[in-house]
Structure formats: structure tokens, C-alpha cells
Amino acid sequence: MAFMLRRPFAVTGALKQSSNIPQQTFRAFHQTPLKSKPSNFFSSRLTGPVSSFFASRNALQSSFRRSYNQQTYSAPGTGSGNLTQRLLYGGAIFGGTLVAINLIFNRETREDGGMPPFERAYLNDTFLHTGLGIGIIGLAARQLHVSGWSYRLMSANPWLVLGIGLVGSIGTMIATRATPPENYVAKYGLWTAFNLTQAALLAPLMFMQPAILARAGLYTVGMMGSIAFVGATAKQEKYLYLGGPLLAGVAIVALSGLAPLVIPATATRTLMMTENLWLYGGLAVFGGFTLYDVQKVLYHARMAERGLMQKDTVNESISLELDFLNIFIRMVQILGMSGNRRR
């Protein structure tokens, strides 16, 4: 059940029918439309009448509350932005988060004299697979967006997309976890299929300005990196008790994401509260899951060293990938909303 909740459903959950948008009234909370791009932007890549795609996209952008097609902005006089300043911001966020979390949560030190080599090797291999999985998702999502997949996904039946997304994502994840690591080809084939499924669901994020996506990725890496460092250097099994409370928290966050489907549009304050709970509560919950998952990896490394279970870093990386995607999605939306307020 935990794996069904810990995945980025928000993109597909926000999709609506586009064929009859002008005749319907949807619950809309943030009504700010995006600026239209030139009509020939995708003319060389899409088949059929281009105007129908843009009419559908513009209608979707002006109708939906929790869509990731947030209005972008560029600060006057900055152009592409100051790379050095952004790197300094990212370093400050990473260092500040690391110091704060260590002061609050990690005052105890490991009693075994440090991390053993087998734990370090297992953790490094897990991080390597996590990075490879995120890279596959990013490259595949970009390619799908360029090929016009994002337009077709945004104009499809949302319940059909959600159903197929659930079956594909959860199905490939369960199949990957059930495949033994000795079956090398099938294991990595199913893992790749899982990553491609996530890329297909996250492709609409590419409508966002690349600068926002880059900043969100930098902040996500900084946040997860600092939390992972705390989990790796903390006392053994110190945070494994968080599994139950985090599962309850992610259930509440998931329900807050579905709240606009049942709450009337006139309940503005309630919608604002659920929006903040989904965004900032989700950041806290999946930050906690990162801490829990890192300690779980080390616990599994000790069990594998004693012969109680098989080493399987592919399975370990899936949990960290889901943590990364959920944090990244929220970072993108927070940055997009911040850009809207500055205009």
C-alpha cells in the first residue's frame, strides 16, 4: 500500500477532459493562464492540425487548478540568469539544510566507529542506480515532450490516463521488485520500463520554463543529499521507526490532493489549506521518507552481509526515486507559483 501512495499522481490527477471544456465549468482555484507560445513551435513535430492542439492546451491552462503548466517569468535584466548566483543559492540551501537537520535530528553518533565498508559499498551502489533512474526519467520525459506526447496526454481522458498510469507504474514496480537479481536482463528491463512509465506521466512538466526545472532539480538534490547524509551518519536504525507515521502522513497528503474533486469552488480557504498541505506537507513527508529509506538501505546491507537476504540495489533505488520525484514535483509547483506572484 505504501508504494501505491508514494508516487507522483498529481500530474495525471489534474488532467481533465478537453473536448468540451468551453461548455463545462470546472473547480478552478488558480485561474491564471499561461502566455501562449508561437503557433509554429511544434509544427515540425506534430501531425494533423496544429491549431487543435493549441486550442486544447490553452483551454486546459485556463481551467485547471492543480496543473503544472504554471505561468513562467523572467526577472528583468537577468537574461538567462546568473549561474554563479544560482550555484551559491544551491550550496547555501544544501549546507543550511545539512547543518539544521544535524543539529535537530542527529546529535547522536554511531556507536560502531563509523560506516563499515560493506554498508558504504551497498549505499553507493544504491545511489548510483537512483541517479541512473532519474536520468532515464528526465531524458525520456524530454523526448516524449518534444515528440508531442505532452499535448496528447493533456487532451486525453483523465480517468483513462490515471488508470493506465496506475497499472503501468505500479505493475512494473511490483514486477521489478519480484524479479530476483540473478535474472539480470529481466530485472533491468522491468526497471527501465518503470522509469519510462514515470517519464510518460511527468512529460507535461516540460511545459515549464527550463530555468524553473533546473532550480527545482538543484533544490531537490540539495534537500535529499543533506537528508541522506544525516541518515547515513546517524546511529544504526535510529529512524526506522518513522515508517508507520510517514505512511499515515502520505495518506493524508494524497487525500489533500484529491480534495478539489469533492470540495466546492466557493470554499476558498479550505482549498488553500489543502493546497498548502499537499505542497509543504508533502515536502516534509517525502523528506522523512528519504531519511527512512537511507537507513533502510543500510539495514538491508547488514542483513545481506549476514546472509539473511539478497543484495538488490535496484529495488532499493526505486524508493529513493519516488522520493525524488515527489519532492521535485512540489518544488516545481512552488517555484511556478512564486513566479506568478512576482508578476
CA 123 to chain centre: 21
Task: Report the distance separating Cα 183 and Cα 191, nearest Å.
Answer: 12
Interatomic CA distance for residues 311 and 15, integer angstroms: 39
In one-letter notation, the amino acid at residue 77 is G
What is the spatial distance between Cα 279 and Cα 327, in angstroms, rounded to a whole number?
Answer: 9
* Encoded amino acid at 136, one letter: I
Rounded Cα distance between 282 and 287, Å, is: 8
For residue 157, the one-letter residue type is N
Single-letter amino acid, residue 199: A
pLDDT number for residue 89: 65
Per-residue pLDDT, 322:
94
* pLDDT score of 70: 41
Query: What counts of helices (H) and strands (E) characterise the chain?
Result: 13, 0
**Backbone dihedral region of 48: left (phi > 0), alpha (psi from -120 to 50 degrees) or beta?**
left
As averages over each run of 10 residues, the pLDDT of the chain (343 residues) reads 49 41 38 42 40 46 42 41 65 64 51 76 94 94 90 80 85 94 92 94 90 92 91 84 87 82 76 86 92 94 91 94 94 84 61
CA distance 308 to 302: 9
Closest CA to 190 of 315, 5, 309, 323: 315
pLDDT of residue 91: 66
Work out whether the CA dihedral 192, 330, 231, 296 comes out positive or negative.
Answer: negative
Determine the Cα–Cα distance for residues 148 and 156; give it in Å rounded to an integer: 13
pLDDT at 25: 37
What would the grid cell of residue 212 be? 524553473
In order, the DSSP letters of 142-166 are HHHHHTTHHHHHHTS-HHHHHHHHH
Q: How far apart are CA 227 and CA 220, in angstroms?
A: 11
C-alpha pair distances (Å), 192 with each of 78, 136, 141, 166, 213:
39, 8, 13, 16, 23
Q: What are the Cα distances from residue 139, in Å, to 72, 217, 333?
A: 22, 14, 20
Q: Please provide the size of the chain in residues.
A: 343
Instruction: Yes or no: say if 31 and 62 are a contact pair by the CB < 8 Å rule.
Output: yes
For residue 38, the one-letter residue type is: P
Among 241, 231, 237, 228, residue whose Cα is nearest residue 302: 237
Q: Is the separation of the CB atoms in 206 and 154 below 8 Å? A: no
* CA pair distance 84, 123, nearest whole angstrom: 31
List pLDDT tens digits, range 115-162.
788 999 999 999 999 999 999 999 999 999 999 888 888 887 777 777
